[in-house]
Amino acid sequence: MAHSERSLLPCQVLNDCSIARTAAEQMALDEWMLELANEQHTPLLRFYTWAKPTLSLGYFQRYADRKSHQPSLDCVIVRRATGGGAILHDHELTYSLAIPKSKLSSYQSQPLYDACHETLIETFSDFGVSTHSYLTSDPSADARTSKAEQPFLCFLRRATGDLICQDFKVVGSAQRRVQGALLQHGSILLAKSEFAPELPGISELTGKSLSAEELMQAWEPRLLQRLALEKKSFSRNFLDMDRFTEIANIKFGAQTWLKKR
């Protein structure tokens, strides 16, 4: 993605790593970012962590399937608006990036995905952590694998572009569109959770203990530079708006959404 000949585009950045939110609020805020990006005609970037260990089901997963994973049965559960397998959010940095419809000619889906993961590889390298993008020899292999054959947890699955460290997946991202705007959000597994003990994180794999804040501070400027975005502080006043609460309450916090499948 070449941006050297284009002026920087303002991007509102929100560091939410120290803010405790419910699982429904986290998902609602990601979705609201799409609406806000379109309204303001500007990209939005958010970094966050999780107040409690949380299991998020992929949009197409059955609620009943969560019983197949015993270690996470006592965790808070929510359903994402993006597909893929379930994610146990605990010791991780989560990010979300919303691109308004009016800017998609400059920020298309695959280059955006690549930019996020490639700059993460570079940032990890600064900390002495070696990661690489997963490449499958058959791009259609995942599509042909039946849902019944896929592992319940997203980080036990493999898709082209996932970041791998010592044969384990440590970064996965997904995209969705709403009213033309594009959202990419993803999870970066910093350390193993007791609620998903089969998934080692960067700490266990490399001996490097990175905090979410530490990684965010190192990655953010590199990502913004790669995307030719200029950081603008995000006013937290928008969090008081009725729309954010509405999305959290009537959608992501509702049993009808959680158990829709």
CATH of the domain at 52: 3.30.930.10
Report the number of distinct structural domains present in the chain. Answer: 1
Strand 9-16 and strand 229-233: the pairing is parallel
Angle between helices 109-126 and 212-226 (to 10 degrees): 130
Residue 81 falls inside a structural domain: yes
Residue 3 falls inside a structural domain: no
Listed residue (27, 33, 9) closest to 181, CA to CA? 33
pLDDT at 239: 62
Residue 23 falls inside a structural domain: yes
Q: For this structure, is 165 an active site residue?
A: no
pTM for the whole structure: 0.91
Strands (E), the chain: 9-16, 44-48, 54-57, 76-79, 87-89, 92-99, 132-133, 163-165, 168-178, 181-189, 229-233
Q: How far apart are the C-alpha atoms of 103 and 42, rounded to whole Å? A: 8
pLDDT at 64: 96
Q: What are the structure tokens assigned to 233, written together?
A: 């502080």
The per-residue pLDDT for range 31-70, each reduced to its tens digit, is 999 999 998 899 999 999 999 999 999 999 999 999 999 9
Are 23 and 50 in contact, with CB atoms under 8 Å apart?
yes
Q: How far apart are the C-alpha atoms of 172 and 48, rounded to whole Å? A: 15
Q: What are the structure tokens assigned to 10, written together?
A: 């303002």
Residue 58 falls inside a structural domain: yes
Q: Note down the domain range covering 191.
A: 10-135+158-258
Residue 163 falls inside a structural domain: yes
Cβ-count burial of 187 within 10 angstroms (0-12 exposed, 13-18 middle, 19+ buried)? buried
Are 13 and 166 in contact, with CB atoms under 8 Å apart?
no
Residue 123 falls inside a structural domain: yes
Catalytic residue among 11, 75, 116, 154: 154
Residues of the chain falling short of pLDDT 70: 1-6, 137-148, 235-241
pLDDT at 105: 87
Residue 149 falls inside a structural domain: no
Residue 170 falls inside a structural domain: yes
Q: How far apart are the C-alpha atoms of 129 and 205, rounded to whole Å? A: 9
